[in-house]
Amino acid sequence: MTILTRYIAATYLRIFGLCLASFIAIYLVIDFLEKIGRFLRYQPNWVDIIQFFLFKIPEIVTQVIPLAVLMATLLTLGMLSRNSEIIAMRSCGVSLGKISAPILAIACTASLFVIVTNELVLPETYRQMRHIEQVLIRKKSSNTFFRQNNIWHKDNNAILMARVFDPAHQTLKGITLWNFSKGMTPVRRTDAEQGSWDGRQWTLWKVVVRDIQHEGVATTSQADSMPVNLNLQVEDLKVVDKYADNMGFLRLREYIRKLEKGGYETTRYEAQMHAKISLPFASLIMAFLGIPFALRSGRSSGIALGIAISIGIGFAYFIINAILVSFGQTGVLPPLVSAWAANVIAALSGIWLAMTLNR
């Protein structure tokens, strides 16, 4: 590593660290102000609130790293241009590629860091956050939970297991409902293809009911539909569905394979799975897109302009990406295409800017 490479990398890392810390602080303040009013209704322990936001930090870091990379890229190159250091490097025969290489290397490292964090850290921190919010702060019992890639719900004398929850249609699919006697002896098993919520109660469809006695199954009956009384709200299942968003790539892929074996629709989760890989590379894309922007501005670029451009580009990218991924979840686009389309569009824009750059 040359002295010039170390100098550019050190300058970039200092500004990147400042940008990242600023974004984390702003995010935490906004999130705190948004949630604290709801939390205080339950008179929680302040230690639990502090722990909740501490466990929130890894998720915040993975979300704001691309914006921090973009802003640091624009500010670093803008500062070097304003101090005529870019001109000095070019006069000594240093190519724009060599000037950009340390920034791209750091951005690539940031992308890999986000992938590893999404896979190993976020599932556990999200589980801790949900436990703190639902059990310690809101004082709810953790009856509904997501374990071993299935949804489980414990009622007074019943346990429900479902393969998947479809939030668009508010339905559970692949349902098994066990009813127990007071001694926790199973007395009935009910299997249904799906269950729907009408706003007041759950209705099971294509039902098979097996009444159980000590010696085994006593009677079996079938029904097209059957209402059931469960203390289970759709809002609780939306939390479970959100937990699927925080699963790692490998675990989500395993979940999709399990659903496919059961014959269930997996398009929604396939788009999320591909986004687990494509979205972390937003950091590299942001650097690739920010370099020609900064060099095009030259010595006229300032801190205010760099911040404005980075925020504008970052929000445009994330809005386009969210729209395209939603198209993949609904089947309008293939899941793989929807997950990577925003990255391809941004990369092509960066290539065009680099090709039209006055060298």
User: Minimal CA–CA distance to 163: which of 271, 269, 264, 231?
Assistant: 264
pTM: 0.76
* Percent of the chain residues past pLDDT 70, beyond the cut: 87
pLDDT at 269: 83
Single-letter code of the amino acid located at 186: P
pLDDT in tens, 19-56: 999 999 999 999 999 999 889 988 889 999 999 999 99
Fold of the domain spanning 156-230: lipopolysaccharide transport protein A fold (2.60.450)
Residue 196 CB-density burial (10 A; 0-12 exposed, 13-18 middle, 19+ buried): middle
Lowest mean pLDDT across 57-61, 164-168, 243-247, 281-285: 243-247
3 state DSSP class of 186: strand
Say which DSSP state 242 is in: H
Element housing 359 (H / E)? none
pLDDT at 169: 75
Cα separation of 251 and 233, whole Å? Answer: 26
pLDDT in tens, 222-240: 888 888 888 777 766 655 5
Q: Which two tokens stand for residue 74?
A: 């624009």
Q: Where are the domains of the chain?
A: 3-129+267-355, 156-230
3 state DSSP class of 232: coil
pLDDT at 292: 83
Residue-level length of the chain: 359
pLDDT at 218: 73
* Percent of the chain residues past pLDDT 90, beyond the cut: 30
Decide if pLDDT at 355 tops 90: no
Cα separation of 355 and 276, whole Å? Answer: 30
pLDDT at 28: 94
User: Minimal CA–CA distance to 320: which of 298, 291, 347, 295?
Assistant: 347
pLDDT at 141: 58
Measured in degrees and rounded to the nearest 5, phi and psi for residue 240 equal: -65, -45
Q: Which two tokens stand for residue 32?
A: 């705190």
Q: Which two tokens stand for residue 34?
A: 């948004």
pLDDT in tens, 171-195: 888 888 888 887 777 888 899 988 8
- Comparing 316 with 199, the larger pLDDT belongs to 316
Decide if pLDDT at 288 tops 70: yes
pLDDT at 252: 83
Q: How does residue 211 score in pLDDT terms, banded at 50, 70 and 90?
A: confident
pLDDT at 22: 94
pLDDT in tens, 54-105: 999 999 999 999 999 998 998 898 888 888 888 888 888 888 888 889 999 9
Burial letters for 232-266: b for 16+ Cβ neighbours within 10 Å, e otherwise? beeebbeebbebbebbbbebbbebbebbeeeebeb
Decide if pLDDT at 314 tops 70: yes
pLDDT at 283: 92
Residue 204 near residue 192, CB atoms below 8 Å:
yes
Mean pLDDT, residues 266-270 taken together: 84
